[in-house]
Amino acid sequence: MVPVAAANLFAIWSGKINRELSKQSCYKFDFHSAANFKQFIDKAHNKTFDMVAVPAHLASYLINKEGYQPMAFLVWESRYLYITKTNSSLLTLQQFDGITLALPDPLTETSILAKAELEAINQSAQYQHYQNYNQVLHALMESSVDAAVMISPFYNGYKARPHFNNSTQVIHSAAFPSHGMLLATENIGKQQREELFNTLASLESGSGFLWESFAPISSLQLETLHKNQAPSVATLEQLLSTQ
């Protein structure tokens, strides 16, 4: 799994998935991640993982560059949010010129899309990148930055905690072009991929996982994903070439 959340959250999700899997099958996943996106991509290149759960731009990259096989769409509420504190004077993206903006890892789809969106309206923010979304939100709460960008499932989870007391607000949101994907290496054969998908697809939607459900992928959907992700993949490759 890509490194976008704190280790304790990954432990909660992985535990829930394995408990549900044990009710319906003999499968049990051993979850791993990496310190950052570059290390994760290096591990994916070296086939350290048998399967990867990745955002859409990285899915397109790994399918085309590394020969990963698509298994399922990771269906969830696919939006990224621009957040400020409730007492902030920032109310629109047109006010972002010169501000300090907290973002996750530069290689994430969130960072790539947010920067492109701001550049398209001639807003030149100062970007501060953090290891995961917990750190992104913490930077905003501590007033280390003027605004932050998070994905909605993480933000909604943090927002539900009592101590936040409506201290933040969403001033803009945008949809991701595609859902993330579950991919497999050649170590997982076609029959096993199908068995795994059927097991995952049978899990109850909204069972407290990071994703709402697992959905099949048609050839047309895969073609559309590659087309929609081409700009983000190009940016990803450019960033990787400098690291």
Which tens digit of pLDDT belongs to each residue from 12-49? 666 666 666 666 666 666 667 788 999 999 999 999 99
In the chain, domain spans: 7-76+178-231, 79-175
pLDDT at 137: 94
pLDDT at 187: 84
Q: ∠ CA(48), CA(46), CA(8), 5° rounding?
A: 40
- The arithmetic mean of pLDDT across residues 47-63, rounded, is 94
Pick the closest to residue 147 from 174, 162, 177, 126 (CA basis). Answer: 126
Which of helix, strand or coil describes residue 163?
A: helix
**Bridge partner residues of 73 (DSSP):** 181, 215
pLDDT at 54: 93
Share of residues in the chain with pLDDT > 90 (%)? 62
Tens digit of pLDDT for each residue in 144-169?
A: 999 999 998 888 878 877 777 789 99
**Does 7-76+178-231 match 79-175 in CATH topology?**
yes
Domain at 7-76+178-231: CATH architecture: 3-Layer(aba) Sandwich (3.40)
pLDDT at 78: 77
Q: What is the pTM of this model?
A: 0.89
Task: Mark out the alpha helices in the chain (DSSP H runs).
Answer: 7-24, 37-45, 56-66, 109-120, 133-141, 152-159, 190-201, 219-241
- The arithmetic mean of pLDDT across residues 103-131, rounded, is 97
Q: Which two tokens stand for residue 74?
A: 């990771």
CA 170 – CA 6 distance, rounded (Å): 22
Which pLDDT band holds residue 9 (cuts at 50, 70, 90)?
A: low
Contact 5, 133 (CB under 8 A): yes
Provide Rg for the chain, Cα atoms. 18
CA 131 – CA 111 distance, rounded (Å): 12
pLDDT at 176: 93
211 vs 184, higher pLDDT: 184
Quick one: fold of 79-175? Answer: D-Maltodextrin-Binding Protein; domain 2 (3.40.190)
pLDDT at 88: 96
Contact 98, 126 (CB under 8 A): yes
Q: CB pairs under 8 A, 24+ apart, for 114-120? A: 114/80, 114/82, 114/149, 116/231, 116/235, 117/93, 117/174, 118/93
116 vs 25, higher pLDDT: 116
Contact 47, 135 (CB under 8 A): no
Q: How many CA atoms lie within 13 A of 138 on its CB side?
A: 10
76 vs 49, higher pLDDT: 49
